């Protein structure tokens, strides 16, 4: 029985939402494939996204950047964390190599931990990276002035370049330092419109449902003081505990997140691959709060502007909740043809061929 090991960053949920459709497509091509997921992402999220049997090893092989919220990077803390993470780098790679030998997969897929890629190279194991971003360029963007940055960046780039391929689902940020990149179509799991199911669970009828989804990191909005918008019901995380009769918890409906998204009239979010791609492919208009210092943002926004209806809102508007006018503008925008998320099948066929060669 062939074995695929999948290492997934838990820096938000976008890495899971990118990876799951690929693994789901691959198991359709290879029903006998055994899947092991190594990630610190919540098991409930994994079970919701992965439509196949898998073994789960709770583990974190990267941390991305240290954040104070879903959109605010702690630069100094991140630089210090990277210095600590790369201390004794060679010994750390050796330890991870031992873990890989014990698991003995036929292929490693990393989105986008680079430590396990370096370990795979050490043991001669075939490996593939896949993501719309990479931690090396993110790190250099924020931490280039750190005294240790040249050595750390070099180790990161070497690890990514050691992969047989770095699959870049569109939209993707440029990765000029890599020699192994391969562009593929967008990846998204398109949800089903379950509007009737939602309506049956809501306390009152609403003309418009607006989902508030700021990714897998805390970014609670002060909705208690927001003005009411006639005909609009907000769907927010239950953990926010917003005590208003025009607000409902989207994770209490018993539906997959993608189905909730596909059932709404708009989504309020931050620039992130998962929500942007899934909203565009489902035809859901997007309000997004800018995070201009994030290197991936321009490429995500430019793509969404071509393939979906979207408008930017400032942080100040999220504080006041004065969103009525911008929502009306959003709903008046033309709707371009829906993009086709063919990237999962592209990646699955590529991975299948690599596993077949290994077997």
Contacts of 228 (CB under 8 A, 6+ apart): 246
pTM (two decimals): 0.93
Cα torsion for 297, 51, 168, 277, to the nearest 10°? Answer: -30
User: Of all helices (H) and strands (E), which one includes residue 3?
Assistant: strand 3-8
Q: How far apart are CA 332 and CA 313, in angstroms?
A: 16
Q: How far apart are CA 345 and CA 28, in angstroms?
A: 10
State the average pLDDT over residues 115-127: 97
CATH 3.40.50.2000 in the chain is located at 3-187+342-358, 195-332
State the average pLDDT over residues 173-189: 96
pLDDT given for residue 292 in this prediction = 81
- End-to-end CA, the chain: 9
Task: Give 54-76 pLDDT, tens digit per residue.
Answer: 999 999 999 999 988 878 899 99
The CATH label, of 3.30.70.100, 1.10.3230.20, 3.40.50.2000, 3.60.40.10, for the domain at 3-187+342-358 is: 3.40.50.2000
The CATH label, of 3.40.50.1360, 3.40.50.2000, 1.10.1200.10, 3.30.365.10, for the domain at 195-332 is: 3.40.50.2000
State the average pLDDT over residues 84-108: 97
Q: How far apart are CA 154 and CA 346, in angstroms?
A: 30
pLDDT bracket for residue 216 (50, 70, 90) = low
- How buried is 85 (Cβ within 10 angstroms: 0-12 exposed, 13-18 middle, 19+ buried)? middle
pLDDT bracket for residue 358 (50, 70, 90) = low
pLDDT given for residue 11 in this prediction = 86
Is residue 93 pLDDT above 60, yes or no?
A: yes
Task: Give 235-259 pLDDT, tens digit per residue.
Answer: 999 888 898 989 999 988 889 899 9
């Amino acid at each position: 029985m062939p074995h695929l090991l999948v290492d997934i960053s838990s820096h938000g949920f976008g890495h899971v939402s990118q990876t799951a459709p690929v693994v789901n497509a691959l198991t359709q091509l290879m029903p006998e494939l055994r899947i092991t997921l190594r990630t610190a992402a919540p098991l409930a999220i994994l079970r919701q996204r992965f439509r196949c049997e898998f073994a789960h090893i709770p583990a974190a092989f990267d941390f991305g950047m240290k954040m104070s919220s879903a959109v605010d990077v702690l630069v100094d803390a991140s630089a210090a964390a990277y210095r600590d993470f790369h201390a004794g780098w060679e010994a750390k790679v050796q330890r991870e190599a031992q873990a890989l030998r014990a698991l003995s997969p036929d292929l490693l897929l990393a989105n986008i931990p680079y430590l396990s890629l370096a370990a795979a190279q050490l043991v001669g194991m075939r490996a593939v990276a896949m993501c719309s971003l990479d931690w090396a360029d993110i790190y250099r963007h924020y931490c280039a002035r750190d005294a240790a940055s040249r050595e750390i960046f070099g180790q990161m780039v070497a690890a990514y370049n050691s992969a047989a391929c770095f699959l870049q689902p569109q939209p993707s940020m440029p990765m000029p330092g890599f020699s192994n990149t391969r562009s593929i179509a967008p990846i998204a799991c398109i949800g089903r419109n379950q509007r009737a199911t939602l309506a049956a669970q809501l306390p009152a009828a609403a003309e418009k449902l607006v989902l508030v989804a700021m990714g897998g990191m805390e970014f609670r909005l002060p909705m208690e003081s927001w003005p009411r918008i006639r005909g609009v019901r907000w769907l927010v995380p239950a953990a926010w505990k917003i005590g208003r009769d025009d607000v409902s918890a989207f994770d209490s409906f018993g539906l997959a997140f993608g189905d909730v998204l596909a059932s709404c009239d708009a989504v309020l979010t931050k620039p992130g691959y998962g929500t942007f791609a899934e909203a565009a492919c489902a035809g859901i208009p997007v309000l997004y709060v800018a995070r201009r210092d994030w290197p991936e943002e321009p490429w995500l926004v430019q793509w969404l502007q071509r393939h979906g209806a979207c408008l930017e809102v400032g942080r100040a508007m999220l504080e006041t909740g004065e969103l009525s006018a911008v929502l009306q503008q959003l709903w008046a925008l033309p709707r371009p043809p829906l993009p086709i998320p063919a990237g999962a099948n592209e990646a699955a066929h590529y991975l299948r061929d690599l596993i077949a060669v290994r077997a």
